[in-house]
Amino acid sequence: MIDPIPVLKEIVKEGKTKIVLLVIDGVGGLPVNGKTELERADIPELDKLARESSCGLIEPVFPGLTPGSGPGHLALFGYHPIKYNIGRGILEALGVDLEVKGGDVTARGNFCTVEGDVVVDRRAGRIPTEKNRELIERLKSKIERIEDVEVILKSGREHRFVLLLRGPGLSDRVTDTDPHKEKERVLSCRATAPEGEKTARVVNEFLSRVREILKNEKPANFVLLRGFSGMPDIPLFPDTYKIKACGIATYPMYRGLARLVGMEVYPAGETPQDLVHTLRELWQRYDYFYLHVKKTDSYGEDGNFDGKVHMLEEVDRIIPEILSLSPDVFAVTGDHSTPALMRSHSWHPVPFILHSGFALPDDARAFTERECAKGILGRFPALYVTSLLLAHAGRLDKFGA
């Protein structure tokens, strides 16, 4: 894959056209009783949009690689997902509005359920956000410092929270404590380089104290940590593409992703309808809109096929409202696939729709995996989505003589 940013920076131009990128998180699936979630869902508006658009399948990173949400989104924004491999911690920290300073180390935390050292539920049943806040306040009152390191905790949504470590001699060169699978043992934090040894020691002491504090809690009796990271050096989306951009998302991590690349960030409310309401309010202020729907991914991870189908149908109902704003370019896709059959992210390609006055309709008759595979765009890296959006919006000059 060619990194498009150096090329696009030379030919991008300002304009007044408007672009909407709707990311239906984990949208792709696998058949259950013969049909995927998209094939089972009643989504007439998305199907109609597919018939009027150019369609294809995108590879979030490259074939066979299962991406996290960070690489999946950064690729959609035009950032090489391997070159800019950003840790989950910084994305969560920015998403909950934590100030991250040079030398800080952040991590994404999950409240979880353990029996002894074995993880029974990585998400503690997706505890309510109110319970999360109660537990975080208890931990904050009992763990303020470890050695000469300040421990900063902040709640996210449901089972998620952020750990931020601030002090001298810290490094993100350490391993996750999350085994990423249930029925596996919790991992100790280990340094992957000498400079990470202090951080690993502090993290393991933090976990020891958490275990004692939460030992009588049900179901959230421990925590898992992953994605240790500091603040990266990354080109900013609005400067790179000469466009005024905003991100509209419910979950902190996705607001963090948008903020990391320099977009202005707004909450989306709880429903797809709330998403469109915010979009309408901001329509005159921006030229590029990243909209994020989370629940499709959550239902996929929970193995809830019917729940994912229902959420796809909810998203379908907002498509006419987005089109009523007359965006010059409207794209619909996901950051990765999350088949309910697998209960996890997967390596499968993701259906993609590109709608504009310059898009060539093709043989795809519906917004499904198998129909989009018939599309004129073929199968291509998500890294090139942004260049396609800019081209269809008339925001790229000719390359070369």
- Identify the domain boundary among 229, 264, 287: 229
**317 shares a domain with 276:** yes
Q: What is the CA radius of gyration of the chain?
A: 21
- Identify the domain boundary among 229, 261, 296: 229
pLDDT at position 128 is 93
**241 shares a domain with 150:** no
**49 shares a domain with 18:** yes
Residue 400 lies in a domain: no
**368 shares a domain with 302:** yes
CA 110 to each of CA 19, 89, 181, 285, 366: distance values in angstroms, whole numbers, following the listed order: 34, 11, 13, 36, 37
Residue 371 lies in a domain: yes
Residue 398 lies in a domain: no
**142 shares a domain with 243:** no
Contact 40, 34 (CB under 8 A): no
**159 shares a domain with 59:** no
pLDDT at position 253 is 84
Closest CA to 57 of 277, 401, 380: 380
Cα dihedral sign for 16, 17, 22, 28? negative
CATH code for the domain in which residue 285 is found: 3.40.720.10
Residue 397 lies in a domain: no
Cα dihedral sign for 155, 111, 95, 297? negative
Contact 209, 143 (CB under 8 A): yes
Q: How many residues does the structure list for the chain?
A: 401
**Tens place of pLDDT per residue across the chain (401 aa):** 889 999 999 999 999 999 999 999 999 999 999 999 999 999 999 999 999 999 999 999 999 999 999 999 999 999 999 999 888 899 889 888 888 998 999 999 999 999 999 999 999 999 999 999 999 999 999 999 999 999 999 998 889 999 999 999 999 999 999 998 899 999 999 999 999 999 999 999 999 999 999 999 999 999 999 999 998 889 999 999 999 999 999 888 898 899 999 999 998 888 999 999 999 999 999 999 999 999 999 999 999 999 999 999 999 999 999 999 999 999 999 999 999 999 999 999 999 999 999 999 999 999 999 999 999 999 999 999 999 999 999 999 999 87
**281 shares a domain with 181:** no
Contact 302, 328 (CB under 8 A): no
- Identify the domain boundary among 179, 209, 229: 229
Residue 30 lies in a domain: yes
Phi and psi for 257 in degrees, rounded to 5? -60, -45
Q: Domain count of the chain?
A: 2
**273 shares a domain with 140:** no
Structural tokens at position 192: 């992957």
Residue 363 lies in a domain: yes
Predicted TM-score (pTM) of the model is 0.84
Domain housing 360: 5-85+235-392
pLDDT at position 191 is 97
Cα 296 from Cα 279, distance rounded (Å)? 20
Cis peptide before 219 (omega within 30 of 0): yes
Residue 250 lies in a domain: yes
**241 shares a domain with 224:** no
- DSSP state at residue 181: S
Helices (H), 104-236: 129-142, 197-214
**100 shares a domain with 63:** no
Structural tokens at position 59: 């590879």
CATH code for the domain in which residue 189 is found: 3.30.70
Residue 348 lies in a domain: yes
**253 shares a domain with 169:** no
**193 shares a domain with 149:** yes
